[in-house]
Structure formats: C-alpha cells, structure tokens
Amino acid sequence: MNIIDIIVKKKNKQELTYEEMKYAIDGYIKGNIKDYQMSALLMAITINDMTKEETINLTKIMIESGDIIDLSSISGIKVDKHSTGGVGDKTTIVLIPLVASCGVNVAKMSGRGLGHTGGTIDKLESIEGYQVNLSKEEFISQISNIGCAVISQTNDVAKADKYLYALRDVTGTTESIPLIASSIMSKKIASGNDAIVIDVKVGNGALMKNIKEAQKLSKLMIEIGKAYNKKVVCVLTNMEQPLGQAIGNGLEIIESINTLKNIGPSDLKELIIVLGTIMVSIGKNIDEEEARKLVLYNLENNNAYSKFEQMIEAQHGNINNIKISDKYISIKSNKEGYINKIDAYKLGEIAKILGAGRFNKEDSINYKVGIVLNKKVGDKVLLNEELMKIYVDSTDINISDVINAFDIKDNVVIKQELIIDIIK
C-alpha cells in the first residue's frame, strides 16, 4: 500500500477501503505521510465526495485514533449537544444548565472559536476564574454532583480530527460534507454520550450555506450515529442573521444570563426551548409535550439560572465580574424602513477584527469587545435610529463598512423562521 496510489484512487472517483483510509490517517499522525500528501487527498475527497461507508469508516478511524470517554458512572441517559457554528451562538451556555435543571445529566465538551464564529470555551473564559480544563475525574464528579459541566474538548479525543481540522482550515478543504460529518461525529461518539442533538446552522453566517447541504449533512450524521447505536437528532436553524443580539465573548455571557433569567432575546429563547425539549425528552425518556412543559417551567422559575450559577461556581468562575469595554460606537440607520438582511458573516468578521476572535491559533482574545444589535430582520427602523453598538477597546480599528452589514428595505419584511427542519 502506498499513499500516492490511495490519492490517485480518490482522484479517480473510486471508493477507498477501511484499510486504505486507516493507512493514510495513521501514517499522517505518525508523520510518515506528509502534510502535502494529506492535503491532496483531502482536496480529492472534498471535490469527489465520499460514500456513506467511506464516511462511517473514516469516523471509526478517527475515533480509534484517540481516547474514548467512559461516562457509564454517571446515571441516566446522557445527551450531548453540538452546533456546527454560527455568529452569536451562545446556545450551549444557556441550554446545558437548562437541561440539567430538568434532571438530565449533561457532560459537555466544547471548542474554541475558529474562522468568523466564536467558541463556547472562549466565551466562558470571559468569566473570571472559570476553569475550562477539568480532569476526567473532576468532570464526572461535577456532573454526578450538580448535573452538568462544560469543559474544553481535550486533545486526546479523536486525535486524528485535530490534525485533519488544522490542515483543512489552511487548504480550502473545510466545505466537505463527509469530512464535516466525520469530524463532528468522531468527537461526539468518542465523548461517550448516549444521544446527540445537533444544531445545524444554515445560511450566510454558517458553514452550510443552503438547506439542501444541511439536510445532506444531517442525514449522514444520523447514519453514522446508527452505526454506533447512538440516537442523533438534527435541528436545522437559520443563520442568515446572528443569533440573539450579542456577538463577542463577555457580551454573549451577559445575554446568556439574561436568557437564563427569561429576559433574553426571543430567537435565542425559542432555540433553547426547541433543543432543550428534544434533549429532555430523550434524556428522561418522556414525550416531547411533557418535556417542553418541564423546560418552560424550569426556565420561568429561575431553576435554569440557579443551575448555571452552580456550574460556574463549581468551575471556580466569578459571575459578578464580567468586563465590557466602556467605549462604543453607535451605528445609526441612514434611512427609514424595514431590516431585510443582516450579514452574519460580515459581523462575525468585524467582531474578529475588534479582537473577539482569532486570526491565528496563537492570538489572544479580548473578552470586552463585540457587537450588540438593536434591530433584527423584520424590525422597523427610523432614520438615525441606532442599529447596533460596536464595543471597541482601541479607536484605530477600521470598521467603516460596518453599515453595509444591514440591508434596509422600504416595504415590510416577513421575519424568517428560526427552525427550518428537524431530522431524526
């Protein structure tokens, strides 16, 4: 077996065997197969696609490349949650304590920001003292004690994925449905949960630009789940505009807290209720009607927020000290009308420029900066009314075209549905 034959086989649109993919991936981790060979193979896969069998095999190889977390000492059905990433996506921070407050144990490992989207772990680190690195024992013990923990994904889970992900990011091979599916599912399956609810973001601010692609990805992830006897539910949600109003780490924590106190933005609230209902229904093995009532009850009675406080405290965070910059620029509308579009991708990029995200892996994050939207799609806006506030930490940042992130129409605009599809 040699890597050039394997690359040429995929280039010629032929199906790779388990052994061929294993040879390629293991050889790459060991360093026998070079970056330039793996990137050629990844490009051939990105263009020529993979079959369901190839994708399941690749997932298996990636799972086998690292540790597999054993959550069996935690009682009940464990339900994991994943998001394919969007702008202003603070769902995990609200959802995990909410679901735990309903009596479902949640062992959540999250990632850092990449590209134009933020990462849950970066956001949580804007809480002073919050510990994102727990040992396996601490992690399991905290969940057994208080019902949830959100920690940083360790490098030991699906090790091969780390290598491939870093390479894909710099070689134009991120937009491949089988590579995305195997990347997500290898990490989720190795994380040891019984079921996985996946928020598949769709639109301009997401990796999946259209519904058809998102459906294809969802079905593939469900198939991979089946091969491991894991229930997978995919919720396709709109990412044509940012989720909620806040973009940026500290600002998103504040918005998360508001949402946990049931005074957050309506779209975020809707999303956590939908996702929470599915997770609680699976976790408690009850019907969705009953699960939804439980979710609403715990949200309205402050139980979700109390659970959040418990979790932050258990992970040594100080919730009373979230710093936001006191310098902001108010962006006002130059016309009267209705918000037709808000360019989530552009706002994500602007947040990154402000310092809320990273250009390189080594960059440090400024937790105090970001954007707060006053208007969302469908809202009416008057001339000179504020569209958003840009929280800055330095005044020499060039964000002159930020106004173009808003598209304003004269006529009434129908609000977009947040939940596009649910695939089980």
In the complex, which residues of this chain contact its own copies (CB under 8 A)?
4-8, 11, 34-44, 46-48, 167, 170-173, 175
Q: Is 218 known to be catalytic? A: no
Least separation in angstroms between CB 40 and its own copies: 4
Q: Is 82 known to be catalytic? A: yes
- Which CB sits closer to its own copies, 48 or 301? 48
Q: Is 168 known to be catalytic? A: yes
Strand, helix or coil for residue 216:
helix
- Which CB sits closer to its own copies, 5 or 326? 5
- Which CB sits closer to its own copies, 7 or 279? 7
Least separation in angstroms between CB 44 and its own copies: 5
Rounded-to-integer distance, Cα 346 and Cα 344, Å: 5
Least separation in angstroms between CB 43 and its own copies: 4
Cβ atoms 222, 59 nearer than 8 A: no
Least separation in angstroms between CB 414 and its own copies: 31
Cα separations in angstroms, 130 against 94, 117, 205, 321, 351: 16, 21, 28, 11, 22
- Which CB sits closer to its own copies, 42 or 251? 42
Rounded-to-integer distance, Cα 201 and Cα 234, Å: 10
Given 122, 161, 199, 343, the catalytic residue = 161
Beta bridge partners of 78: none
Given 78, 82, 162, 230, the catalytic residue = 82
Rg of the chain in Å (alpha carbons):
21
Helices 35-48 and 18-30, packing angle to 10 deg: 140
Least separation in angstroms between CB 39 and its own copies: 4
User: Using the 8-state DSSP alphabet, how is residue 381 labeled?
Assistant: E
- Phi first, then psi: give them for residue 10, nearest 5 degrees: -70, -40
Strand, helix or coil for residue 237:
strand
Given 123, 159, 168, 358, the catalytic residue = 168
- Which CB sits closer to its own copies, 30 or 137? 30
Given 65, 110, 176, 183, the catalytic residue = 183
Least separation in angstroms between CB 168 and its own copies: 9
Contacts of 178 (CB under 8 A, 6+ apart): 45, 49, 50, 54, 55, 58, 220
Given 78, 187, 358, 389, the catalytic residue = 187
Instruction: Give the count of beta carbons closer than 10 Å to the beta carbon of residue 73.
Output: 10
Tokens of 56: 């399941």
Rounded-to-integer distance, Cα 291 and Cα 285, Å: 9
Which residue, 349, 385, 386, 351, is CA-closest to 365? 351
Q: Is 183 known to be catalytic? A: yes
Q: Is 316 known to be catalytic? A: no
- Which CB sits closer to its own copies, 39 or 416? 39
The residues assigned a catalytic role are 82, 161, 168, 183, 187
